[in-house]
Amino acid sequence: MEQLRVLELYSGIGGMHQALQASGIPAEVVVAIDVNTVANEVYKHNFPTTSLWSKTIEGISLKEFDRLSFDMILMSPPCQPFTRIGRHGDTSDPRTRSFLYILDILPRLTKLPKYVLLENVKGFETSTARDELIQTLGKCGFTHQEFLLSPTCLGIPNSRLRYFLIARLQSEPFAFHALDKILTVFPSLEPNASETSRDATRLEESGSPVPTKEASSSSKDNRQQCRQKENILFKLETAEELERKQQKDNDVSVRMLKDFLQEDGEGLSQYFLPPKSLLRYAFLLDIVTPACRRSTCFTKGYGHYIEGTGSVLQTAEDVQVQWPS
């Protein structure tokens, strides 16, 4: 296979570039493009020899794109217009403008790329932006397949459901092609799978239970218990929720969190949750330990939000977690 020339849009810190290298496919990222200055500094550190353009995508002309003569596009457009906690602005959100510009440019390229790979949040699959993407790919002659996948599909102990699309400029379908369906299993593991459709199951996205009225009314009592027993954290969960988490921790097809943690733990103290937050909100937290085989998205919301911000890692082995009856 000859070396592919790759255009990396919304390059961030270079996650897609790293995945491309790990795939072993002969490829060169000819240009990476992002406007985030902090992300660009990290990208330069990770890939110092790659040409990095710090400019808006809309500011790049058709002629400039044509000069790059790329074979593949990697992109992860802004997810805020589609995320479940956002305003669902979709194509009316200004942050979608650059993506719509790409869709406008694509059919007008002198040479179409052979491949397109896109990643986004769950929610994108029901958006108008996604519909316009599919229409544009069809008009250009691409064959495509969509997925809703989580890292747990690959044995990684983190539930972070994401939308993926792969497309190629060939009329033949993929070996795992499921017409008008979004796959929710990794095709190399389940080659004949076609078990879900576009409106299919809402897969796990959060391990933080939504507090019931009973839980809310009991929070004061639980906080008092925490003060009385400083080495015990109390959690309120339904029996079904607890059983679901225990089943995940018993799934040996998924690795333990400790396989991905820094061994020395140096510098982690800056990320500790303050005791005040633990005492007040322990019953809401999705607490995991290094021996767990599950976690939910670790986010930047810590310190700003408690509920729905993902798992909290318990590193103190002497602290017990109890579920009040």
Cα dihedral across residues 142, 91, 108, 17: positive or negative: negative
Which residues make Cβ contacts (< 8 Å) with residue 16, sequence separation at least 6?
A: 8, 74, 75, 76, 117, 119
Residue among 79, 140, 153, 292 flagged as catalytic: 79
Query: 187 is written with which tokens?
Result: 């095709």
Query: Can you say how many angstroms the Cα of residue 74 is from the centroid of all Cα atoms in its chain?
Result: 15
Find where tokens 């790990």 sit.
22
Which residues make Cβ contacts (< 8 Å) with residue 11, sequence separation at least 6?
A: 17, 32, 33, 34, 39, 40, 43, 52
Alpha-carbon distances, residue 190 vs 56, 175, 182, 203, 255 (angstroms): 39, 11, 14, 18, 19
Angle between helices 15-23 and 37-46 (to 10 degrees): 30
Compute how many other C-beta atoms are within 10 angstroms of the C-beta atom of residue 143. 16
DSSP annotation of 71 reads: S
Please tell me whether residue 91 adopts helix, strand or coil conformation.
Answer: helix
CA distance 313 to 278: 12
The DSSP line for 166-226 is EEES-SSPPTT--TT-EE-S-TTTSTT-----TT--------SPPPPHHHHHHHHHHHHHH
Compute how many other C-beta atoms are within 10 angstroms of the C-beta atom of residue 308. 19
Query: Is residue 79 annotated as a catalytic residue, yes or no?
Result: yes
By the 10 Å C-beta count (0-12 exposed, 13-18 middle, 19+ buried), 32 is classed as: buried
Cite the active site residues.
79
